[in-house]
Amino acid sequence: MISKRAFMALGAAALGTPSTTFAQSGFQLDPRFEPQVVPLRYPFQPGQILVLPQAHYLYFVMPGNQAMRYGVGVGKAGLEFKGNAVIQRKAVWPDWRPTDEMIEREPHKYEKYADGVPGGPGNPLGARALYLYQNGIDTYFRIHGTTEPWSIGRSASNGCIRMIDEHVIDLYERVPRGSIVTVL
């Protein structure tokens, strides 16, 4: 039986396109933000995640000083997460509720979602979410999919690290709970 990952890779290869296209919106992802294996200059532990917000890249560290690099969207100035965290929770098609701070900052945009949004294709967290914790406490920062693929390569979120849904699904399958995330 063919895995979902293999099926998706086969589909992308059959299309022959170098970058992800979103037919409904006409958006096409810049090829540099497509997942690709790259060498690492500094030694990190395999399984660790490294995020470089200024470059808009997330690296999943693999053996042999290599990493799978993904393009990401990150937090707006003043809202970004920095430091170390642990993935303590993972969710498929997660529910979402804006934080109290988001509602307070932009009530016109977020107040209508105060009771939450069920998981599914229209949910702002997208297909998967990896929840970042520090010392066993939820930071309310996530690595997640997005309904706004054009935000990849930009500093546009309320602090979370956004990925194309297909890319976060790939990362989700690679990363176990307990993995360390470092955001520089």
The alpha carbons of the chain give a radius of gyration, in whole angstroms, of: 16
Q: Which of 56, 108, 144, 167 is catalytic?
A: 144
Q: Which of 56, 108, 160, 167 is catalytic?
A: 160
Helix (H) or strand (E) holding 73: none
HEC string of 90-113 equals EEECCCECCCHHHHHHCHHHHHHH
Q: Is 145:164 a contact under the CB 8 Å cutoff? A: yes
- 108 catalytic residue (yes or no): no
CA-CA-CA-CA torsion sign (78, 83, 88, 94): positive
The tokens for 49 are 């995640």
- 144 catalytic residue (yes or no): yes
Residues assigned a catalytic role: 144, 160
